[in-house]
Amino acid sequence: MAGNKNHSVPAATVPRLSRYLRKLQEMQSRGTSTVSSRQLAEAVGTNPAQIRKDLSYFGEFGIRGVGYDVASLIEELKKCLGLDRTWNTIIIGAGKLGTALARYRAFQKQGFNLLGMFDSAAAVIGKSRGVGHVKSTDELEDFITSNRVDIAIITTPASVAQELIDRVVAAGVPSVLNFAPIRAHVKEPAIVRQVDLSTELMSLSFYLNNQGC
C-alpha cells in the first residue's frame, strides 16, 4: 500500500500527522470504516490537498472516489510516526507536572513505556508517583546504562534543566522532551523538543484579549 519515503518530510508535516492519527482513532471508535480526504480535512481543520500532500511523503494511500480505509490508514500513520514499536521513556522532575505526565494513561497506549521517574529532592525520593518509586537523580547514569532509554522528559525548574539534559545525553539518551522554561541545547545527533507552556498561555491570552477587535 505504501512505501517509506520519509527522508525529506518537512518538519511542519509531523505534528499534522499526529492530528490525523488522533482524529482517525476517534472516528474508528465511533464505527467509521472509510473516510475521504475532505471529511478528514473538515475534522482536523485543514484542507484535502494538505492531507494528500502530507501523506504523499510516505507513499500512496486510499482509493480515488472511495477514500481511505480508516483501520489501514491508522496502522500506516503509526508506522510513519514510529508508533508501531515501543519507546522507553523516563521523567526527570517529580513535581505536579511530572506526576501528571506519569499518570497519563495514553503514554502506554501509544507505545511510550515509562521506565521510571527521577528527582533530587529528598522529600519525594522513594515516593510513589504513578510509575513505581521516585529515584534519585544520582542514579541517572547507572539507570540509563542498565536500561535502553529512548526519551527523557524534563519537568524540572529551569535552573537545573540544562545540566540534567547534558547528563542524560552524555549517558546515551538520544532524545529529550523539555518542559522546563529554557531554550535547551544538545549536541547532535541527539534531538531536543521544547514544550513552552508559558508561551502557549500568553498566545491564548493575546487572542482572548483581542476577540472582536
Examine residue 48 and state whether it is found in any structural domain, yes or no: yes
Examine residue 195 and state whether it is found in any structural domain, yes or no: yes
Residue 3: the pLDDT is: 44
Other Cβ atoms closer than 10 A to 179: 19
pLDDT in tens, 52-111: 999 998 888 877 777 899 999 999 999 999 998 899 999 999 999 999 999 888 887 788
Answer yes or no: do 131 and 151 share one domain: yes
**Among residues 48, 80, 112, which one ends one of the domains?**
80
Domain housing 120: 87-199
Residue 5: the pLDDT is: 47
Q: pTM above 0.85?
A: no
Examine residue 210 and state whether it is found in any structural domain, yes or no: no
Q: According to the 3-state scheme, what is the secondary structure of 148-169?
A: CCCEEEECCCHHHHHHHHHHHH
- Per DSSP, the residues of the chain read -----GGG--TTHHHHHHHHHHHHHHHHHTT--EE-HHHHHHHHTS-HHHHHHHHHTT---SBTTTBEEHHHHHHHHHHHTTTTS-EEEEEE--SHHHHHHHT-THHHHTTEEEEEEEES-TTTTT-B-SSSBPEEGGGHHHHHHHS---EEEE-S-HHHHHHHHHHHHHTT--EEEE-SSS-----TT-EEEE--HHHHHHHHHHHHHTTT-
**CA angle 152-83-57, nearest 5°?**
110
Answer yes or no: do 27 and 99 share one domain: no
Q: How far is CA 110 from CA 18, 51, 153, in A?
A: 11, 22, 16
Answer yes or no: do 97 and 64 share one domain: no
Answer yes or no: do 91 and 189 share one domain: yes
Q: pLDDT 10s per residue in the chain (213 long)?
A: 444 444 578 888 999 999 999 999 999 999 999 999 999 999 999 999 999 999 998 888 877 777 899 999 999 999 999 998 899 999 999 999 999 999 888 887 788 999 999 999 999 999 998 788 999 999 999 999 999 999 999 999 999 999 999 999 999 999 999 999 899 989 889 999 999 888 778 878 887 888 765
**Among residues 80, 100, 132, which one ends one of the domains?**
80
Residue given cell 476577540 in the structure block? 211
Answer yes or no: do 148 and 47 share one domain: no
Answer yes or no: do 124 and 191 share one domain: yes
Examine residue 97 and state whether it is found in any structural domain, yes or no: yes
> What are residue 133's DSSP bridge partners?
128
CATH number at residue 30: 1.10.10.10
Answer yes or no: do 47 and 125 share one domain: no
**Among residues 30, 65, 80, which one ends one of the domains?**
80
d(CA 159, CA 6) in angstroms, rounded, equals: 37
Answer yes or no: do 192 and 117 share one domain: yes
Answer yes or no: do 96 and 170 share one domain: yes
Residue 50: the pLDDT is: 96
